């Protein structure tokens, strides 16, 4: 007996075709799974690399923070040292060798001249430590203004000789006669004088010569009679 296929022409199966498509589908699925696996492995590798980069950046940040802290501490120490050094320099800059000045001045005084008052006048030294300033320039630091002399002599010539000799003392500038008047002392007339002498850096036993104030504080203008 002969078999007859009663299905429509479009629904008929071609022998051998469906069996051939199955291996191709399986191969495609295997390739897709392989691609997905490779992509997943690649993504995991990138995540691990990113984690390593973050860890390295974090370690570098902590190291930089430590270096910055050490640098700030070093800066603070340097600033404190500069303030202390400035304070010492300021104190030294304002120190005057009064003992030497008085000794040298007394050595050059004429015999017929005597003093009733000798006063050294100074400017206040800036407190650089409190101001937090840098080290001051010792070449232009504040120095004492001068010496104020009040005394007597038997003649104007002796007063002039005192002024001439005082100008030769290292540290003393050019003397200025503030006042001079004749007074009667018993049976003899004497000259009462006031002399102001500026002081320069040599009064601090420094080699420079920079007068700060030509006229001491409180000095008055006088006229020689």
pLDDT, tens digit, 9 for 90 and up, residues 14-37 = 555 455 566 666 767 767 777 776
pTM of the model: 0.47
User: How many other C-beta atoms are found inside a 10 Å radius of the C-beta of residue 144?
Assistant: 25
Whether 4 maps to a domain, the answer reads no
215 compared with 4, residue with greater pLDDT: 4
Whether 44 maps to a domain, the answer reads no
Whether 191 maps to a domain, the answer reads yes
Whether 41 maps to a domain, the answer reads no
- CATH classification of the domain holding 125: 3.30.70
22 compared with 204, residue with greater pLDDT: 204
Whether 27 maps to a domain, the answer reads no
Q: Is the predicted pLDDT of residue 5 greater than 70, yes or no? A: no
Whether 194 maps to a domain, the answer reads yes
143: domain range?
98-204
125 compared with 129, residue with greater pLDDT: 125
Burial code of 183-208, b = ≥16 C-beta within 10 A, e = fewer?
eeeeeeebbbbbbbbbbbbbbbebee
**pLDDT single digits (tens) 85-99:** 766 665 555 678 888
Distance of CA 78 to the CA centre of its chain: 9
Provide the mean pLDDT of the chain: 74
Torsion of CA 204, 120, 180, 165, to 10 degrees: -30
Cα(148)–Cα(166) distance, rounded to whole angstroms? 12
Cα(130)–Cα(123) distance, rounded to whole angstroms? 18
**In what side-by-side order are the strands of the sheet with 146-153?**
113-121, 146-153, 188-198, 176-185
Whether 192 maps to a domain, the answer reads yes
130 compared with 114, residue with greater pLDDT: 114
122 compared with 167, residue with greater pLDDT: 167
Average pLDDT of the residues in 31-54: 74
When divided into structural domains, the chain yields a total of 1
Cα(74)–Cα(66) distance, rounded to whole angstroms? 12
Whether 225 maps to a domain, the answer reads no
Q: Is the predicted pLDDT of residue 115 greater than 80, yes or no? A: yes
């Amino acid at each position: 007996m002969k078999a007859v296929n009663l299905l429509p022409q479009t629904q008929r199966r071609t022998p051998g075709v469906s069996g051939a498509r199955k291996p191709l589908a399986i191969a495609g699925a295997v390739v897709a799974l392989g691609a997905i696996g490779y992509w997943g492995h690649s993504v995991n590798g990138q995540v691990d690399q990113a984690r390593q980069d973050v860890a390295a950046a974090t370690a570098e940040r902590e190291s930089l923070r430590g270096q910055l802290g050490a640098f700030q501490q070093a800066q603070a120490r340097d600033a404190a040292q500069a303030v202390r050094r400035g304070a010492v320099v300021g104190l030294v800059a304002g120190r005057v060798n009064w003992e030497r000045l008085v000794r040298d001045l007394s050595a050059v005084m004429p015999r017929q001249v005597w003093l009733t008052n000798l006063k050294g006048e100074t400017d206040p030294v800036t407190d650089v430590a409190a101001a937090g300033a840098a080290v001051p320039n010792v070449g232009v630091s504040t120095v004492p203004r001068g010496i104020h002399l009040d005394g007597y002599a038997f003649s104007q010539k002796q007063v002039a000789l005192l002024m001439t000799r005082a100008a030769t003392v290292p540290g003393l500038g050019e003397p200025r006669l503030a006042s001079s008047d004749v007074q009667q002392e018993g049976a003899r007339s004497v000259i009462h004088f006031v002399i102001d002498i500026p002081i320069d850096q040599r009064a601090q036993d420094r080699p420079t010569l920079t007068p700060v104030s030509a006229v001491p504080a409180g000095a008055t203008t006088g006229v020689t009679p």
